[in-house]
Amino acid sequence: MTSTVDLAQRLGPRLVALRRTLHRHPEVGLHLPVTQAAVLDALAGLGLEVTTGEALSSVVAVLRGTAPVEGHRPVVLLRGDMDALPVTEEVEADHASAVSGVMHACGHDLHVAALVGAAHVLHELRDELAGDVVLMFQPGEEGPGGAEPMLREGLLDVAGRRVDAAYAVHVTAAERPFGVWFSRPGPLMASADEVRVTVRGAGGHGSAPHHALDPVPVACEVVLALQSAVTRRFDVFDPVVVTAGRIAAGTVNNVIPDDAVVELTVRALSARHRAEALAVVRQVAEGVSGAHGLTADVVVDHGYPVTRNDESEYSFAREVVIDLFGGQRWTEMPNPEMGSEDMSFVMDEVPGAYLFVSACAGPDPTAVPDNHSPRAVFDDAVVPDVAAALAELALRRCRIPAAGGPGSLD
Ligand SMILES: [Zn+2]
């Protein structure tokens, strides 16, 4: 019996070539026609049930296993995001970006190649696959978000039965040595919401603030009061981050403007603190403004929810990775990260696990540029490992009886 790792290694050169083609032709956002065409081409001939998105250039492919199953036939979802970033690549390589101002600076080109690899491996091993696999090729992870529209277009029911479990792998350019996998149970990444606070006063002459309602000091007070609120009102072990990344008011030094705008990112690691943080931002903005006789408009733009690893899916995924690559290549993260990820929308609907693996190209992972840097380098030698892990997760997860999920094996 050929293993997923052997099969993926054999596919290695083709997967690396695909990754480099994608790297040369990066695309941003929800509409990735070149990437979509490359995926469709790479999946051709596997006999998959392929659908493409209507609102976005997603690809969803269902791969049917042919192993006999008694009772519930599991459905496993594997996800790879496909989009690049508006970054000008500064890495010199034959496969460096040929598109000015756009770069696969987050390694999603590796994700696409790995998911294509998993499709080929699972196709080879379909006689051992006791269920069906949904391959989710997703645009727009870096914004404005592709997972949610894919869910609206029926992603989780595309196989004819609801998805039972979902997995995703993300590569990093730094942080850990090459080939080391890492993740953690429970909260892994933060929710991220945008809030726009407009402090409304009444403009006037800069020399006579008593005849005006100056929104500028009030906006500054709102920003500082929010920092106090974060430390005084939230348990430090379930952290909240509120950052005012932009503050804007006025036109010239001697004119008091009518209003001042503060734009915030609000991050949390639990649904409860996410909701409370947004409520506190509103309360503080309105309260501080009101204390000075001004008003505040608070507009929330909800972003991605908390990415949370299901405890039993996490243990299962960890076991699979350790079985394939050895315990020395697994690290449990002590803490979550405050970045965000729209795989969270999928994992809010079905239990899942999200893993990182290092594709660090340098000898010292603490000394090289990380994801999103114009100088980030991803070693695509990791692609076959990611393909093997995704395929193995699907194969083994399909063998687990439906009732209790992976935990039922304990
Ligand atoms: Zn990313």
The confidence band for 96, taking pLDDT boundaries of 50, 70 and 90, is very high
pLDDT value at position 410?
42
At 31-74, the pLDDT tens digits run 999 999 999 999 999 999 999 999 999 999 999 999 999 889 99
pTM: 0.93
Write the DSSP assignment of 126-186 as a string of letters.
GGG--SEEEEEEE--TTTT-SHHHHHHTTGGGTTSS---EEEEEEEESSSS-TT-EEE-SE
Distance 340 CA to ligand 1 centre (A): 9
* Backbone angles phi and psi of 216, in degrees to 5: -70, -55
Is 70 exceeded by the pLDDT of residue 27?
Answer: yes
Residue 341 has, within 13 A of its CA and on its CB side, a CA count of 28
Write the DSSP assignment of 279-342 as a string of letters.
HHHHHHHHHHHHHTT-EEEEEEEEEE--EEE-HHHHHHHHHHHHHHH-GGGEEE-SS-BS---T
Distance 205 CA to ligand 1 centre (A): 48
- Backbone angle region of 217, left / alpha / beta, with phi > 0 → left and psi within -120 to 50 → alpha: alpha
CA–CA distance, 363 with 369 (Å, rounded to integer): 12
Is 90 exceeded by the pLDDT of residue 111?
Answer: yes
Distance 201 CA to ligand 1 centre (A): 41
Say what percent of the chain tops pLDDT 70. 97
CA–CA distance, 386 with 358 (Å, rounded to integer): 10
CB-based contacts of 91, cutoff 8 Å, min separation 6: 374, 375, 376, 377
pLDDT value at position 408?
47
Mean pLDDT across the chain, nearest whole number?
A: 96
Is 70 exceeded by the pLDDT of residue 403?
Answer: no
Is 50 exceeded by the pLDDT of residue 112?
Answer: yes
pLDDT value at position 153?
98
CA–CA distance, 268 with 308 (Å, rounded to integer): 12
CA–CA distance, 295 with 260 (Å, rounded to integer): 11
Distance 57 CA to ligand 1 centre (A): 18
Distance 410 CA to ligand 1 centre (A): 33
Query: Of the candidates 90, 82, 83, which has an alpha carbon nearest to the alpha carbon of residue 373?
Result: 90
Is 70 exceeded by the pLDDT of residue 211?
Answer: yes
Inter-residue contact 105 to 376 (CB < 8 Å): yes
Distance 292 CA to ligand 1 centre (A): 43
pLDDT value at position 302?
97
Distance 227 CA to ligand 1 centre (A): 28
At 311-336, the pLDDT tens digits run 999 999 999 999 999 999 999 999 99
Distance 321 CA to ligand 1 centre (A): 20
Its sign, for the CA torsion 19, 64, 179, 372, is positive
Intra-chain end-to-end CA distance of the chain, in Å: 26
Query: Residue 126 is which amino acid?
Result: R
Distance 16 CA to ligand 1 centre (A): 18
Distance 80 CA to ligand 1 centre (A): 10
Average pLDDT score over residue span 293-299: 98
pLDDT value at position 400?
84
pLDDT value at position 409?
46
b/e sequence 178-207, b meaning 16+ C-beta within 10 Å: bbbbbbbbebbbbbbbebebbbebebbeee
Distance 142 CA to ligand 1 centre (A): 7
Average pLDDT score over residue span 122-130: 97
pLDDT value at position 1?
59
Distance 168 CA to ligand 1 centre (A): 11
At 367-386, the pLDDT tens digits run 999 999 999 999 999 999 99
CA angle 313, 331, 325 (to 5 degrees): 80
CA–CA distance, 107 with 173 (Å, rounded to integer): 8
Q: Is the peptide bond before 365 cis (omega within 30 degrees of 0)?
A: no
Q: Between 383-398 and 311-325, two packed helices, what is the crossing angle to 10 degrees?
A: 120
The confidence band for 405, taking pLDDT boundaries of 50, 70 and 90, is low
384's enclosing H/E stretch is helix 383-398
Of residues 250 and 362, which shows the higher confidence score?
250
Average pLDDT score over residue span 172-191: 97
Its sign, for the CA torsion 15, 342, 326, 73, is negative
Query: Residue 257 is which amino acid?
Result: P
Q: Which residues surround ligand 1, an ion (CB under 5 A)?
A: 106
The confidence band for 406, taking pLDDT boundaries of 50, 70 and 90, is low
Q: Which residues pair with 331 in a beta bridge?
A: 182
- Location of structure tokens 């899916």: 313
Distance 138 CA to ligand 1 centre (A): 11
Distance 172 CA to ligand 1 centre (A): 8
Query: Of the candidates 68, 21, 104, which has an alpha carbon nearest to the alpha carbon of residue 378?
Result: 104
CB-based contacts of 120, cutoff 8 Å, min separation 6: 7, 11, 46, 387
Distance 134 CA to ligand 1 centre (A): 20
Q: How far is CA 272 from CA 117, 190, 239, 267, 310, in A?
A: 38, 12, 11, 12, 17
